[in-house]
Amino acid sequence: MRRRTIRELPFHLMILPGFLLVLVYSYFPMAGIVMAFEKLSPSKGMFLSPWVGWKNFEYMLQLPGIGGVLWNTVFIAAMKMALGIVVPVTFALMLNEARNRLFKRSVQTIIYFPHFLSWVILSGILIDILSPSTGIVNAALGSLGIPSVYFLGDPDWFPFTLVISDVWKEFGYGTIVYLAALAGINPALYEAASIDGAGRIRQTWNVTLPSLLPMIMLMSILSLGNVLNAGFEQVFNLYSAQVYSSGDIIDTLVYRIGVENANYGVATAVGLFKSVVSFVMVGLSYLLAYRLTNYRIF
């Protein structure tokens, strides 16, 4: 036992920095959950403020527009999750058909690059190119005789602008995941299909997609945990009061209540509600992943 402990000690030391980071930034802050049940007074601190029980949650449910905020969050998150599966799968299938390796690798690099850029940078780019007066997108629409569209200021357009820009940023990462899954398909299946007279389209339909289906199901199921994560950084950098009706989400509501209005108890209650729902969905997603695709984390 002692010899085994000594042999495995370097591995435990490798895990230690990550363990400490999770402990400090993920578990210690959970003590702040108590603020959801208090009328927090900064002068008294978190543990001496008066206890109000469930009143913050009752106030949360009575907030004007809370139903719209919940709908916006679920709608935007669901659209991102759906297109976050469809677009990478489609692009991976098309890229898999490319025979020029240099072209294939170049395209992978180009589409993967936006994944590494923060929304602070990308929001500045989007504000410029989507401007109704000087943006290149509206200039192109004007050349076709189409009236300019205020993508970031029109409540009808704003949610779809969020979804499309998020898919553009992240689909390169998903494409690489599915390309890796495509690389693991047994070539003998394609040879057998070719002998049976199947062309490239028939091979894609009868061999590629069925082989890719377990990965698609797994990624879809695991994304259920993000049903209330519509993307705070993206929305915060792109939205304005003009689009609150269709673009305000739970995270931005928490920010305004907690930071701008200094109502920390209610903001914590809203955040706790979101965390509980996300926790349930994550648990459900792992259960479904195990039942349907035999995926296990332990």
Tokens matching residue 226: 């993000």
**Are the CB atoms for 203 and 190 separated by under 8 Å?**
yes
Each domain of the chain, given as residue ranges in start order, spans 71-293
Dihedral-angle region of residue 65 (phi above 0 means left; psi in -120 to 50 means alpha; beta otherwise): left
Q: How many CA atoms lie within 13 A of 216 on its CB side?
A: 17
In whole angstroms, what is the distance from residue 81 CA to residue 221 CA?
A: 10
pLDDT in tens, the chain (298 residues): 677 777 888 888 898 999 999 999 888 888 888 888 888 887 788 888 888 888 888 888 888 888 888 899 989 998 998 898 999 999 988 888 888 888 888 888 888 888 888 999 999 999 999 888 778 888 888 888 888 888 888 889 999 999 999 999 988 888 888 888 888 888 888 888 888 787 778 888 888 888 888 888 878 877 777 777 778 889 999 988 888 888 888 888 888 888 878 788 888 888 888 888 888 887 887 787 777 767 666 5
Residue with tokens 């698609």: 216
Q: What is the pLDDT at residue 20?
A: 92
Q: What is the pLDDT at residue 192?
A: 86
Q: What is the pLDDT at residue 295?
A: 66
**Are the CB atoms for 31 and 46 separated by under 8 Å?**
yes
Coil, strand or helix at 38: strand
Q: With 0-12 CB in 10 A as exposed, 13-18 as middle and 19+ as buried, what is 210?
A: exposed
pTM: 0.83
* 71-293 CATH fold: MetI-like fold (1.10.3720)
Q: What is the dihedral of CA 298, 281, 232, 245, to 10 degrees?
A: 170
